[in-house]
Structure 1
Amino acid sequence: MKVPVLMSCILSIAACASTGDPHRDALRDQETASAILGGIIGGVIGHQFGDGRGQTALTVLGATAGAMIGGGLARDRTIYDGERRAAYLAFESTPSGDAVPWRDPDHRVHGSYTPLRTWRDSRGQYCREYQQLVVIDGRERRAYGTACRQPDGSWRIVAD
C-alpha cells in the first residue's frame, strides 16, 4: 500500500514542474517514469530474497538499483535525442536562415537544422520549411522538409 501512494506523490510532483518547453518536459517525464518503473521492478525482485530485515534491505537495495538503472537508460536515450531537441528549437524560435547544430559524440554523427521560411497553413498552424544536414563519418547528407506546429506545441514533419 505504501509504494502506490509514494509513486502517486512522486508522479504528481513531477507533473507539476513544467519548464515551459513541452519537448523538455516530455523528456523529463520519460526519465521520471523510467526511474519509477525500474524502482518497482527492482524492489519486487529484491523482495524475493532473504527474510526479516535482510528481505527489507534487499527490497530497498533492489528498488534503488532499479530506479538508477531505469532513469539511466532513459537519460542515455535523451542524450541521443539531441537531434530532436535541435529540430524543435529550429522550428520553434530560430530565425529563418540560422542553423541550429547538434552532435552525438558517441556515434560520431552531427548536423544541423536550418529553418528557411515560415507561414500559416489553411488551418492557421505555423509551418516551417527547413533544411537538414547530417554528417556521418565525414559524409554529408542534406534533406529538405516541412514541419507544422501542432495545437499541443509539438512539431510534426508533414513533408520531406
Structure 2
Amino acid sequence: MTEPATLAALRSKLDESDRNVAFNALEIALTQLGDGATLVWKRQKNGLSGVIKTISAFRDDEGRVCRKVKYSITLGTFERSVTGSACRDKDGSWTLSS
C-alpha cells in the first residue's frame, strides 16, 4: 500500500537542504519567469525533482504583485502537485497560499 500524497508526508521525506533547494527554485520561478514559463530542477543526491509552471500574474486587493503557479514535486514514487498563488510582500519575500 502506498502512502497518501500529502504535503506533511513529503516534508517528512525532505531534509533542510532539500527544502531549501525546493523553495529557492520557487523563488527563481516567481521572480524571473514570465507567465506560461516552466522551470524544471533535480537534485542528484536523492532524485528529488520539481516542475514549476508560472500561470499568470495579477495584483491582489492590497496592491501586491501576485503569481498563480503550479508546482509538482517528485521523490521516488511520491508525487504531489499543488496549484496556488504567491504574493510578493514589501520586503521582497513571497507569501504562498494554495
TM-score, L = length of structure 1:
0.47
The residue aligned with 1:93 is 32
Deviation at 1:139, TM superposition (A): 4.5
Please give the secondary structure, in 2, of the residue aligned with 1:118: strand
- Matches of 1:155 and 1:133, distance apart in 2: 18
More strand by share: 2
State the aligned residue count: 83
Deviation at 1:138, TM superposition (A): 4.2
The residue aligned with 1:118 is 57
The residue aligned with 2:3 is none
More helix by share: 1
Name structure 2 gaps, 5 residues minimum.
1-14
The residue aligned with 2:45 is 106
The residue aligned with 2:88 is 149
Q: Which 4+ stretches in 1 moved above 6 angstroms? A: none
Please give the secondary structure, in 1, of the residue aligned with 2:50: strand
The residue aligned with 2:66 is 127
Task: Give the letter aligned to residue 95 of structure 1.
Answer: G
| Coordinate RMSD, CA, aligned | 1.8
Deviation at 1:136, TM superposition (A): 1.8
Task: Give the letter aligned to residue 74 of structure 2.
Answer: V
- Give the greater-gyration-radius structure (CA): 1
Task: Give the letter aligned to residue 83 of structure 2.
Answer: Y
1:25-55 deviations in Å (ceiling 9; x for gaps): xxxxxxxxxxxxxxxxxxxxxxxxxxxxxxx
Please give the secondary structure, in 1, of the residue aligned with 2:36: coil
